[in-house]
Structure 1
Amino acid sequence: MLRQAAKRAAITGGLHVARVIGTTGLMRDARGRGAIFTLHHVRPKQPLAFDPNGHLEITPDFLETAIVRLKRDGYRFITLDALPVHLASNDPRPVAVFTLDDGYRNNLEHAAPVFSRHAVPFTVFVAGGFIDRTNILWWEVLADLLNRNTSLQFQFDGIETLPAETLQQKQAAFDRIAAFIQTIDEATAVERLKTFAASQGVDALKLTADLTLDAAGLKRLIENPLASLGAHTISHRALARLPDNFARDEMEQSARRVEAITGRRPVSLAYPYGYAGTVSPRDHRLAQDLGFTTAVTTQPGTLNDRLDKTALPRISLNGHFQKAGFVSALASGIAFQLMGAR
């Protein structure tokens, strides 16, 4: 926990520096042509003693604050599908694109009303396994288990009992299991977590149903003319770690699942996790071959017309940094240039 606190303090300091530089007019080019923003949960804050996924959650009030600040800073709001045309144009105005990953229920209940008040379009990326309640959100399940228990058994190479009495121990257990899920076959590791959850009386698939929209809910969401759906694979596994045919099938079947809901094949894709090591140049090529005109990562950065449209960066609106000034600092791109210069 101390390490995480130090990391947050360093990020906060960097954002303050970026904000100050931005007010001077220096590094103006870092803003580029605009930015794509990543969100997950949008809901009123529910205080938890242990909240390892807090960075994936912002409040509706902060979403409104972010939109108002971007308007003040001169941004124009467009759909993700319209982004290639913007990048190919000579329009000097920066654009802001809003995307939300995983299809949480609160996207309909809390995020959509905010977007509607400000006439801001948004794209929700949905995984077929969440829609159909066949796959679990393992990070949500793991957090729930650690909040319930003072120790946790998990099968690594062998079965180990991890202490989880203190917040530090809970975070260490979360980090170790999360890292393990990315080191062996992901489906196998997640199935082990699902099995342990069942032994503790936790129905992991019910948690998926409680947290995410099913097909009927997504149809209600897209009744909003500002809303659109994008593909996010079926099983939400790291594509770079899958064989070619598996990765292709994850993308293709996801597109078909979305089309079955909307009546229109999606042209946008979000890679699960989206950071280095979970998505590769091969996956960019597969996305292009399958007809996706835009595909987004979670690599941070702003937009320019030289970017590969199947490897676009996004900026996370992080639950730990919910201040208007941080929105301007992030959108300026200055922080990312400073990090890249190190």
Structure 2
Amino acid sequence: MSAKYAIIRAAFELLALSQAPAVIRKFSRSRGVIFTLHRVLPDKPPAFSPNAILQVTPDFLDYTIKRVRELGFDVVTMDEAIERIEAPEKGRPFVVFTFDDAYRDNLQFGLDVMRANAAPFTLFVATAFIDGVGEVWWQAIEDIIASREAIAIPGAGGNDYLPTATLAEKQATYDTLYAKMRKMPEAERVALMRGLGEAYGLDLDEHCRRLIMNWDELQTFVAEPLCTIGAHTVHHYELAKLSAAELRSEMEGAVRILAERLGVTPAHFSYPIGGKASAGAREYAMARELGFRSAVTTLPGGLFQADKDHLWSLPRVSLNGLFQSRRYVDVFATGGLFSMLGRADE
């Protein structure tokens, strides 16, 4: 675990052992929390698994749903959440469960948990992923590094050779390559990722099809009364990197394709990656212009009545896979706490 996550874990331990989350929930004006999830997998991740932050077990998901209800939260749809944000009175606190990317394990392991708990949720879909032609690049670079003792990264002066023999070397190389790709224009990132896939025998289209549901599998969620289908762009690009025309095409195109393929016109949107570097005022304005009822970020925070004026930049709290301790759920459910932390990071 990195030093950053070790510090976060220590903070979670202190909060979980104190009465602070309960006190904050009691006195905070926060009305609710939107949880961010990605993958639901029963098995423990391997030692080298930088993307383990994106996965929770079915048992932890099940416990989280039950525990937030014990704490007095209603589990509601995105539509209901917007109505409660806009209501003049605070009312009962609420939680929204959202899943990004439409991983196949959501169908294999997650859906049964949501059904067993009669818990509504939103699934945000990137359409190129469902077509099987997108790059799940953060997982692809992990998979390339995992089985090799070194990898070569093309650079301006030739290849840079990065060691990946030990666990520490693998993590350092992953961090370096991930940071490099986050800074690159999307077209360059795609080209680099495609080149690495070819060099190391990873068929990125097959890789995508293995990880993500296809259109037939997605129909299960369309027919599921508990599920709301949301849009997550076409190609899962970081929108802030795109031109205005590309931005509109990614967002508008996702709506059009989902309507054509599923007969569903999504009212809610999720910004890919969703942090400050990935989406800002321009992207929020586009979501509003295109008629989405809401759009969610990955900026941490709870929901307040003031968010009725900012429905296209709603915060979420990530159910981080590195923090799957039952005693942490009370911390995750404390939206006001994450709002304070978010402001401190500004």
Query: Within 5 Å, which residues of 2 pair with 1:1-342?
Result: 4=2, 6-19=3-16, 20-22=18-20, 25-26=23-24, 28-30=26-28, 32-89=30-87, 90-157=89-156, 158-307=158-307, 308-333=310-335, 335-337=337-339, 339=341, 340-341=343-344
Q: Which moved more, 1:175-184 or 1:82-91?
A: 82-91
Q: Is the 8 Å Cα contact of residues 164 and 170 (structure 1) preserved in structure 2?
A: yes
Whole-angstrom distance in 2 between the partners of 1:36 and 1:230: 14
Over the aligned positions, Cα root-mean-square deviation in angstroms equals 1.7
Secondary structure of the 2:248 match is: helix
Q: Is the 8 Å Cα contact of residues 187 and 237 (structure 1) preserved in structure 2?
A: no
Q: Is the 8 Å Cα contact of residues 301 and 337 (structure 2) preserved in structure 1?
A: no
Q: Is the 8 Å Cα contact of residues 42 and 110 (structure 1) preserved in structure 2?
A: yes
Whole-angstrom distance in 2 between the partners of 1:196 and 1:51: 19
Q: Which moved more, 1:86-95 or 1:132-141?
A: 86-95
Whole-angstrom distance in 2 between the partners of 1:78 and 1:47: 30
Whole-angstrom distance in 2 between the partners of 1:68 and 1:245: 44
Q: Which amino acid aligns with 2:312?
A: T
Number of residue equivalences:
339
Distance 1:206 1:68, change over 3 A: same
Q: TM-score, normalised by structure 1?
A: 0.94
Whole-angstrom distance in 2 between the partners of 1:333 and 1:130: 31
Q: Is the 8 Å Cα contact of residues 36 and 318 (structure 2) preserved in structure 1?
A: yes
Whole-angstrom distance in 1 between the partners of 2:183 and 2:22: 45
Whole-angstrom distance in 2 between the partners of 1:35 and 1:160: 43
Unaligned runs of at least 5 residues, structure 1: none
Q: TM-score, normalised by structure 2?
A: 0.93
**Identical counterparts, % of pairs:** 35
Q: Is the 8 Å Cα contact of residues 124 and 230 (structure 1) preserved in structure 2?
A: yes
- Report the CA distance between 1:67 and its aligned residue: 0.5
Q: Which moved more, 1:10-19 or 1:39-48?
A: 10-19
Whole-angstrom distance in 2 between the partners of 1:31 and 1:13: 26
Whole-angstrom distance in 1 between the partners of 2:210 and 2:160: 30
Q: Which moved more, 1:23-32 or 1:309-318?
A: 23-32
Whole-angstrom distance in 2 between the partners of 1:37 and 1:132: 26
- Report the CA distance between 1:159 and its aligned residue: 2.0
Q: Which amino acid aligns with 2:177?
A: I
- Report the CA distance between 1:82 and its aligned residue: 2.4
Whole-angstrom distance in 1 between the partners of 2:70 and 2:111: 21
- Report the CA distance between 1:301 and its aligned residue: 0.5
Whole-angstrom distance in 1 between the partners of 2:338 and 2:70: 22
Q: Is the 8 Å Cα contact of residues 24 and 334 (structure 2) preserved in structure 1?
A: no
Q: Which amino acid aligns with 1:329?
A: V
Q: Is the 8 Å Cα contact of residues 31 and 332 (structure 1) preserved in structure 2?
A: no
Whole-angstrom distance in 2 between the partners of 1:133 and 1:293: 28
- Report the CA distance between 1:27 and its aligned residue: 6.2
Q: Is the 8 Å Cα contact of residues 300 and 315 (structure 1) preserved in structure 2?
A: yes
Whole-angstrom distance in 2 between the partners of 1:123 and 1:261: 18
- Report the CA distance between 1:26 and its aligned residue: 4.9
Distance 1:130 1:337, change over 3 A: closer
Q: Which moved more, 1:51-60 or 1:329-338?
A: 329-338
Secondary structure of the 1:124 match is: strand
Whole-angstrom distance in 2 between the partners of 1:56 and 1:301: 18
